[in-house]
């Protein structure tokens, strides 16, 4: 009977075993997890164990039933959503942090790397030197933190401290109809309500319509509600569109509004010299978000928010001094156990305890450098352009939105099928069932499109070509079957 956990000494042995298992998983030769659901449900589930089986058995279960039935996301052919498998440097740093830095509080080498890596990213992506950052779990929380700063700023201007006293006035946020819905959820969580977000229509390239934005701002100018922020996309989720950041930034200045740029996916695109100019105006942003767990290939659970005034975050998110949290008490004459508690990240966002994320980003950047990341970003953007080129040349394919970055929205077309949206959904369903090339779908201008997003470090041109061929093959087959 085992009642206590194994202690130190065994980790290297088990890591070796797990490492082999993970490498094997990453060769992608295992069957699809969906095919044998029942068997791993049986092996892993059941009622709560009264007596422990010991760590050898736990590791064996992980190797046999857990890892081989993991997600398809790391697969080179998986281009769905905006998710990707982690690269080795990030995995190793993440594991090291789990062991050696279980707390962001205090001065440690891991905590030191939070600011170091945030500053590296800021420099790499051309953010203004005054921007300071904070890690959180991903784009959802990163946008929440940014809009929390915007809310604090906008209400303080009216003599209200919204974090302390709550909202006493209605508020508004402006974002394109392509904005990620985490903006709406952030508005809800921050007490503004989802309906505070006004959707501004987009143009043919998926960017916000500036005239519509300006008209809306003018129309709302006399209202008794607080304009909290204008949100610009630096890479929209549907079609990788980049809004006209300079124009939005100037409108934000004119109307006295905070300017937030959601670059969760697309900020690293600035490294591609072919599209760098599209980020002009980024320097006008009051806040910017970027997700290292997207294009940088970090293990999932890492987003970052930058703001031009980190003290604002402190006012927006402080949990206030608490006797049980020594570093927060700053009374005159207070004798502290330490000379320094490091940067008070726990005061800048919504997490007190949190994993070490800086070391992960530091490891990723240190491994391949800015030039390595630039190569990856350019390669992925080229792949999306190649898909568009192939689709433009094929009589049964239509490019619905040409790529700005690494997403291409295209669809199968034929005059022999009445409902093309239904046809493309069927094609997508078959792609997912075949399990080799797995894109997403979305709607662009009322058309259901096949939407690969190339961000996986392991994804190469061959996967992009294979996807196009498979879409044509499945489309042709569905046509033939329907004519039989
Ligand atoms: C532009 C944008 N913002 C925010 C998010 C939310 O990020 P997360 O899934 O890390 O919470 C996404 C996710 O794809 C995104 O594309």
**Residue 324 pLDDT exceeds 80:** yes
Q: Write down which residue in 310, 334, 365 finishes a domain.
A: 365
State how far the Cα of 35 lies from the Cα of 383, in Å rounded to an integer.
31
Between the CA of 134 and the centroid of ligand 1 the distance, in Å, is 16
Domain identity same for 271 and 407: no
* 282-306 confidence digits (pLDDT tens): 999 999 999 999 999 999 999 999 9
137, 237, 288: residue to mutate for ligand 1 pocket, most atoms within 8 A of CB: 237
For residue 251, the model assigns a pLDDT of 98
Contact 182, 231 (CB under 8 A): no
Between the CA of 478 and the centroid of ligand 1 the distance, in Å, is 34
Taking the CA of residue 82 as reference, the ligand 1 atom at the shortest distance is: 14
Domain identity same for 283 and 197: yes
- Residue in the structure block whose two tokens are 């509004």: 257
Contact 291, 266 (CB under 8 A): no
Between the CA of 140 and the centroid of ligand 1 the distance, in Å, is 6
- Residue in the structure block whose two tokens are 């498998």: 85
**Residue 258 pLDDT exceeds 90:** yes
Looking at the domain assignment, is residue 7 inside a domain? no
Domain identity same for 285 and 374: no
Looking at the domain assignment, is residue 42 inside a domain? no
Between the CA of 102 and the centroid of ligand 1 the distance, in Å, is 26
**Domain ranges, residue 379:** 369-483
* 128-171 confidence digits (pLDDT tens): 999 999 999 999 999 999 999 999 999 999 999 999 999 999 99
Q: Which residues, other chains included, contact 273 with Cβ-Cβ below 8 Å and sequence gap of 6+?
A: none
Instruction: Tell me how far apart the terminal alpha carbons of the chain are, to the nearest angstrom.
Output: 64
State how far the Cα of 357 lies from the Cα of 349, in Å rounded to an integer.
14
Q: Which residues, other chains included, contact 140 with Cβ-Cβ below 8 Å and sequence gap of 6+?
A: 182, 185, 186, 303
Looking at the domain assignment, is residue 78 inside a domain? no
Domain identity same for 354 and 478: no
- State mean pLDDT over 83-109: 93
**Alpha helix locations (H) across 7-108?**
11-26, 37-44, 55-61, 88-100
Between the CA of 235 and the centroid of ligand 1 the distance, in Å, is 10
Q: Residue 479 sits in a domain of what CATH number?
A: 3.90.1150.170
Taking the CA of residue 235 as reference, the ligand 1 atom at the shortest distance is: 1
Q: Residues with Cβ within 6 A of ligand 1?
A: 82, 138-140, 143, 180, 182, 237, 262, 264-265, 291, 303
Q: Write down which residue in 332, 365, 398 finishes a domain.
A: 365
- State mean pLDDT over 373-377: 98
Domain identity same for 152 and 226: yes
- Mean pLDDT, the chain, rounded, equals 95
For residue 6, the model assigns a pLDDT of 66
Residue nearest to atom 8 of ligand 1 (CA): 139
For residue 24, the model assigns a pLDDT of 96
This prediction's pTM: 0.96
As for how many domains the chain has, the answer is 2
State how far the Cα of 356 lies from the Cα of 273, in Å rounded to an integer.
32
* 334-362 confidence digits (pLDDT tens): 777 777 778 889 999 999 999 999 999 99
Contact 157, 213 (CB under 8 A): no
Please spell the DSSP secondary structure of 103-167, one letter per residue.
-SSS--HHHHHHHHHHHHHHHHTT--TT-EEEEESSHHHHHHHHHHHHHHHHHHTTT--HHHH--
Between the CA of 139 and the centroid of ligand 1 the distance, in Å, is 4
Domain identity same for 194 and 224: yes
Tokens representing residue 382 in the block = 């080229």
Residue nearest to atom 5 of ligand 1 (CA): 139
Residue 409, strand partner residues: 401
For residue 25, the model assigns a pLDDT of 96
**Residue 7 pLDDT exceeds 70:** no
- Residue in the structure block whose two tokens are 């998710």: 83
Looking at the domain assignment, is residue 58 inside a domain? no
Q: Write down which residue in 365, 384, 416 finishes a domain.
A: 365
* 389-424 confidence digits (pLDDT tens): 999 999 999 999 999 999 999 999 999 999 999 999
Residue nearest to atom 16 of ligand 1 (CA): 237
Domain identity same for 227 and 376: no
Percent of the chain with pLDDT over 90: 88
Taking the CA of residue 266 as reference, the ligand 1 atom at the shortest distance is: 1
| 8 band by pLDDT with thresholds 50, 70 and 90 | low
């Amino acid at each position: 009977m085992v009642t206590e956990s194994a202690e130190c000494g065994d980790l290297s042995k088990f890591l070796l075993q797990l490492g082999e298992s993970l490498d094997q998983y990453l060769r992608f030769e295992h069957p699809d997890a969906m095919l044998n659901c029942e068997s791993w449900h049986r092996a892993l589930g059941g009622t709560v164990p009264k007596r422990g089986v010991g760590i050898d058995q736990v590791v064996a279960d992980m190797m046999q039933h857990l890892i081989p039935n993991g997600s398809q996301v790391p697969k080179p052919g998986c281009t769905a959503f905006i998710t990707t498998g982690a690269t080795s440097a990030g995995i190793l740093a993440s594991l090291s942090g789990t062991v050696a830095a279980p707390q962001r509080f205090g001065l440690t080498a891991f905590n030191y790397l939070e600011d170091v890596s945030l500053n590296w990213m800021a420099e790499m992506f051309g953010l203004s030197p005054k921007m300071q950052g904070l890690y959180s779990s991903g784009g959802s929380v990163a946008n929440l933190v940014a809009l929390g700063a915007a809310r604090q700023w906008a209400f303080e201007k009216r003599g209200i401290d919204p974090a302390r006293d709550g909202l006493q006035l209605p508020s508004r946020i402006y974002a394109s109809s392509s904005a990620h819905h985490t903006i709406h959820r952030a508005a809800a969580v921050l007490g503004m309500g989802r309906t505070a977000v006004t959707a501004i229509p987009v143009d043919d390239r998926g960017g916000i319509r500036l005239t519509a934005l300006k008209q809306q701002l003018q129309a709302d100018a006399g209202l008794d509600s607080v304009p909290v922020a204008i949100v610009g996309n630096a890479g929209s989720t549907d079609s990788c569109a980049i809004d006209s950041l300079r124009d939005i930034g100037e409108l934000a200045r004119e109307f006295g509004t905070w300017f937030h740029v959601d670059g969760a996916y697309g900020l690293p695109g600035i490294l591609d010299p072919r599209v760098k100019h599209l980020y002009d105006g980024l320097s006008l942003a009051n806040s910017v978000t970027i997700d290292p767990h997207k294009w940088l290939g970090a293990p999932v659970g890492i987003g970052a928010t930058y703001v031009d005034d980190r003290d604002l975050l402190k006012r927006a998110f402080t949990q206030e001094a608490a006797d049980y949290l020594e570093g927060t008490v700053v009374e005159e004459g207070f004798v502290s156990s330490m000379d320094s508690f490091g940067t008070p990240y726990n005061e800048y966002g919504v997490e007190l305890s949190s994993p070490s994320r800086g070391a992960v980003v530091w490891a990723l950047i240190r491994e391949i450098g800015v030039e390595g990341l630039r190569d990856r970003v350019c390669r992925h953007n080229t792949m999306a352009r190649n898909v568009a080129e192939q689709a433009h040349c094929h009589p049964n394919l239509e490019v619905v939105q040409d790529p700005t970055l690494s997403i291409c929205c295209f669809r199968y077309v034929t005059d022999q099928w009445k409902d093309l949206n239904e046809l493309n959904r069927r094609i997508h369903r078959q792609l997912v069932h075949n399990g080799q090339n797995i894109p997403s779908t979305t709607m662009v201008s009322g058309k259901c499109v096949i939407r690969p997003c190339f961000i996986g470090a392991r994804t190469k041109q061959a996967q992009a070509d294979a996807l196009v061929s498979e879409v044509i093959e499945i489309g042709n087959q569905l046509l033939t079957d329907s004519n039989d």
